[in-house]
Chain A
Amino acid sequence: MPSSLSSLEDQVVRILARYPKPRSAAMPILHLIQETQGFISKEAMEWVAARLDLQPAQILELVTFYPMFRQHPVGRNHLKICRTLPCALMGAESLRDHLLRKLGVKLDETTPDGRFTVSEVECLACCGSAPVLMVNDDLHENITPEKLEQILAACL
């Protein structure tokens, strides 16, 4: 068992205690792994499968079904632009292109300094203040190119 995963054992035990069947704990454990490791590796999926008496394919099914799970590391600041219709009508697409041009990356690529990764996500439930952008877990509303500059400057 990879040592970084075994350090999660206590938390995994607590999560398992919340469910009648171990299988039900798969989602929260995957979230825990992504939070602590940054992404969900193959080793992590194997570990979760063995820990829950599931087969590896059953874990990959979850990880590939839910877009919020990722199998690759991202930069320190994960910029998530909404791609759903209200944001698109309010200019999210040109904002996205602007951001990618400025950082010199493609979607889901990380800048060479490891600072930024840009991804598209589904609705962030703030259509009234479109377009919106999330930086890691922080939501930013009514984004304009100027506002974007300030947000990027504030990112470490």
Chain B
Amino acid sequence: MKTLTLTIDGKICAGAAGQTILEVATASGIEIPTLCHMKELSPWGGCRMCIVEVGGIAKPVPSCATPAADGSVVVTKNERLDRLRKLTLELLFSERNHICPICPMNKGDCELQMSGYKFGIDGIRFPYLYPALPVDLTGKYLGLDHNRCILCARCIRTCDEIEGAHTLDLGNRGVKSQVIVDLNSTFGASTTCTHCGACVSACPTGALFDKNAAFHGALKRCAQVRTTCAECPVGCGLVVYTMDDRIVDVFGDGDSPVNRGHLCVRGRYETWAVKRERLTEPMVRRNGALAPVAWDEALAAIRAATRGLKSGEKGLLVSGRLTNEAAETLAKIRPSVSSVGMYVAENEAAMCGDPGAARDVFPLLQEADAFVLLGADPARLQGVVAARIRVAVRKRGAKLVMLNVRSSDLDAYADISSRMVGLERAFWKRVADVLKGRRKPVLIYGPNAMTSLGVAAMEKLLKTFDADCGPSVIGLPATTNALALSAAGVEAVDDLSRWFASAPLRAVHVCAADEPAGGARILREREVAGCLKAMEFVVLQTAYFSRLVELADVVLPALAWSERSGTITNFEGRKLPLRPALTPRGQARDDADILESIYA
């Protein structure tokens, strides 16, 4: 690559052809004020805070949108630039109703406010316009207050370039310009919004905010813990903001090699903004009712009830959310519980055999020019993957073929979307036409590709790609750590009622860990409730209340995602850390510790 040399503020700076002045300056440690710029997004040049003087050009130029030229002499700070930047800020402050004391981003979280302080704005020379603007509070997790918008379009560009949804845009013109949602819709009624919250992370002011975080504490004063999202096998990096041992907000970790700061609704909001009823004390059933007891008493009750049982009569059913460290504990306690099974998503057990070689999937997604999704629905389960696909389809013209068992929010972006049944020759011809000439196809398969229909479709598909350009095949499981746990010897159970029947079980211990629905999803499988009722003794280990509690003789409180530590392995084979952001609630204890104290 061609290198460039610039003089910025008297300092010789090296850059590469194609870089902007701002990029070269930032890389050389020279700070230029910005407001509408985000390094993840394409240049916009809207706010004019980043103006610099370039030798030979009379007018200041926006450094974020001006390519660096070899040999140019750049000045980023002087009296004139300072004056112009102040003017820009004054105009911004005068345009809408920026009333800091009643804004959730007051006290340090607002880039506009901080820029005001930085440039010493102590008064505005222009009349305030005081426009009457609405607030949209219909969004499930986020709100949009037009009064605080500076029209930097960071939300719009993020929604377009990162989430790929393009729900937001700029409507009207001039002084009436306003961020719009779909066809003048609201967040609550939007048909394209995925509720990923990326727009809120991008907003430099309080125009977009998280409803559950507003006025719960300035992020700037919060403690930050970098951990990994445990909701799905993608393993996105999270930054958890806490204050007084409670979560204030959760954002994506920009340093994560997986998600690079982006999140889906599951990690960004469902982890903390949805009310889940926590279980905080061990409980033992006495005279038909569960009563809170001390740990020792609960453990004694378990020992007493299972003392007479052989190891083959005790079953342990674990969640696929357990950590790699818990898998080691499971291996250790194997002699005392011979029947250990892991419950996973529908049809997922067959995916769990071979974890495959570790590799970086995101660069493949970034470059792919065709996607075939077979029995996988990332729009519902792995939103960050869905975002990459939407961006590829909408921005780069990548093709998308979907073969699924039910409808998906990605259907609207697909060239072909079909259920897996009754596919005839004409259909495969259409698929082949769509994939023709594609050089970097990617085939993503999920649990529902493991059915007989899915396997047949997979065989057909593999013959459909251009012969010289086979697809990169990516397995996308649904359960957080199922692949690594099965590789560590924890057998994934395909059919729970058959698992109950396969051994002469008399007692079972369900270790649901911190599953959002408390592990109750196992009851969705036929006859599982009956199997549990038929047990002489049921232990439930879970972080959250669910219908399972009613079936348990002893209930043990487990740690939630925000309190756990250890590692999980994502679908790429990366070992990622879980770090506790909060202290354990009540008496809750680590899953592996609990298992060890019962069985070791």
Q: Which of A55, A64, A65 contacts B166 (CB 8 A)?
A: A55
Q: Which of A45, A54, A65, A67 is the one whose CB lies under 8 Å from B183?
A: A45
* Contact B192–A55 (Cβ < 8 Å): yes
B172–A57 CB distance below 8 A: no
> Is B265 among interface residues, defined by CB-CB distance under 8 A?
no
Cα(A54)–Cα(B394), bound, Å: 8
Distance between A125 CB and nearest chain B CB, rounded to angstroms: 20
Chain A residues, CB < 8 A from B24: none
In the bound assembly, the distance between CA atoms of A45 and B180 in angstroms comes to: 14
CA of A57 to CA of B181, assembled, Å: 7
A35 contacts the other chain (Cβ, under 8 Å)?
no
Chain B: minimal CB distance from A108 (Å): 15
Residue in A56, A61, A67 whose beta carbon sits within 8 Å of that of B170 in the complex: A61
Could you tell me the dominant secondary structure of chain B's interface residues?
A: loop
A60 and B394 within 8 A (CB) = no
Whether, in the assembled complex, B167 has its beta carbon less than 8 Å from a beta carbon of chain A, the answer is yes
* Chain A residue nearest in CB terms to B166: A55
- Rounded to whole angstroms, the CA-CA distance of A65 and B173 in the bound complex is 5
Q: How far is the CA of A61 from the CA of B178 in the complex (A)?
A: 10
Which residues from chain B contact A55 at a C-beta distance below 8 Å? 165-167, 169, 182, 192, 394
B171 adjacent to chain A (CB < 8 Å)? yes
Which chain A residues (41-90) contact chain B, with CB distance < 8 Å? 42, 45-46, 53-61, 64-65, 67
Q: Is the CB of B168 within 8 A of A57?
A: yes
Verify if B366 is at the interface (C-beta below 8 Å from A). no
- Chain B residue numbers with a CB within 8 Å of A46 are 183
CB distance from A51 to the nearest CB of B (A): 14
1/0 per position for B157-190, CB-CB distance to A under 8 A?
A: 0000000011111111100000011111000000
A interface, by DSSP: helix, strand, loop or mixed? Answer: helix
| Contact A65 to B172, CB < 8 A, known contacts A60-B180, A60-B184 | yes
Contact B183 A57 (CB under 8 A): yes
How far is B167's CA from A61's CA once the two chains are assembled, in angstroms?
11
Residue numbers in B under 8 Å from A64 (CB-CB): 171-173, 180
CA distance A58 to B160 in the complex (A): 10
Q: Tell me the complex Cα distance, A64–B165, Å.
A: 20
* CB of A2, distance to nearest CB on chain B (Å): 15
Known: A53-B394, A55-B192, A56-B192. A61 touches B183 (CB 8 A): no
Give the size of the chain A interface in residues (CB under 8 angstroms).
15
For chain A residues 76-110, which have a beta carbon within 8 Å of chain B? none
Q: Does the CB pair B173–A57 fall under 8 Å?
A: no
A67 proximity list for chain B (CB < 8 A): 173
Name the residue on B nearest A21 (C-beta): B397
Q: Which chain B residues in 125-180 approach chain A with CB under 8 Å?
A: 165-173, 180
Q: Known: A53-B394, A55-B192, A56-B192. Is A61-B180 also a contact (CB below 8 A)?
A: yes
Residues of chain A lying within 8 A (CB to CB) of residue B170? 61
The interface centre, meaning the residue of A42, A55, A60, A65 with most chain B CB atoms within 10 A of its CB, is A55
Residue of B nearest to A45 (CB): B183
Q: Is the CB of A56 within 8 A of B183?
A: yes
Q: Specify which chain A residues have a CB less than 8 angstroms from the CB of B171 in the assembled complex.
A: 60-61, 64-65
Complex Cα distance A45/B185, Å?
A: 13
**Bound state CA distance, A26 and B394, in angstroms?**
16
CB distance from A79 to the nearest CB of B (A): 23
CB distance from B64 to the nearest CB of A (A): 22
A60 touches B183 (CB 8 A): yes
Q: In whole angstroms, how far apart are the Cα atoms of A135 and B30 in the complex?
A: 58
Per-residue CB proximity of B435-459 to A under 8 Å, as 1/0? 0000000000000000000000000
B47-94 contacts to A, CB under 8 A, are: none
Q: Which chain A positions have C-beta within 8 A of B184?
A: 60
Residue in chain B with minimal CB distance to A53: B394
State how many angstroms separate the Cβ of B388 from the closest Cβ of chain A.
Answer: 17
CB distance from A1 to the nearest CB of B (A): 15
Q: Across the interface, which residues of B come within 8 angstroms of A65, CB to CB?
A: 171-173
Contact with B along A27-46 (1 / 0, CB 8 A): 00000000000000010011
A91 smallest CB distance to B (angstroms): 26
Max count, chain B CB within 10 A of own CB: residue among A46, A53, A60, A65: A60
Contacts of B172 in A (CB 8 A): 64-65
Contacts of A54 in B (CB 8 A): 166
The one of B166, B173, B181, B191 that contacts A58, using a Cβ cutoff of 8 Å: B166
Chain B, Cβ-Cβ closest to A42: B183
Nearest CB in chain A to that of B397: its residue = A53
Q: Which residue of A lies closest to B171 (CB)?
A: A64
A102-142 with Cβ < 8 A to chain B = none
A64→B172 CA distance, assembly (Å) = 5
Interface positions, chain B 583-598, Cβ under 8 Å from A, are none
Q: A97 → chain B, closest Cβ, in Å?
A: 23
| Complex-state Cα separation, A58 to B183, whole angstroms | 9
Minimum Cβ distance to chain A for residue B410 (Å): 14
Q: Which residues of A contact B183 (CB under 8 A)?
A: 42, 45-46, 56-57, 59-60
Q: B20-52: contact bitstring with A at CB < 8 Å (1 yes, 0 no)?
A: 000000000000000000000000000000000
Most B-side CB within 10 Å, residue of A54, A57, A59: A57
**A53 contact set on B, CB distance < 8 A:** 394
Whether A57 and B394, one on each chain, are in contact in the complex, defined by CB atoms closer than 8 angstroms, is: no
Roughly how many angstroms separate A59 CA and B170 CA in the complex, as a whole number? 10
Task: Give the CA-CA distance A56 to B167 in the complex, in Å.
Answer: 8
**3 closest Cβ pairs, A-B complex:** A57-B169, A55-B166, A64-B171
> Which A residues have a C-beta under 8 Å from some C-beta of B?
42, 45-46, 53-61, 64-65, 67
26 contacts between A and B (CB under 8 A): A53-B394, A54-B166, A55-B165, A55-B166, A55-B167, A55-B169, A55-B182, A56-B182, A56-B191, A56-B192, A57-B167, A57-B168, A57-B180, A57-B181, A57-B182, A57-B192, A58-B169, A59-B183, A60-B171, A60-B182, A60-B184, A64-B171, A64-B173, A65-B171, A65-B172, A65-B173
Question: Can you name 10 extra interface pairs (CB under 8 A) apart from A60-B180, A65-B171?
Answer: A55-B169, A55-B182, A57-B166, A57-B169, A60-B169, A60-B171, A60-B182, A60-B184, A61-B169, A65-B172
Binding site for A on B (CB under 8 A): 165-173, 180-184, 191-192, 394
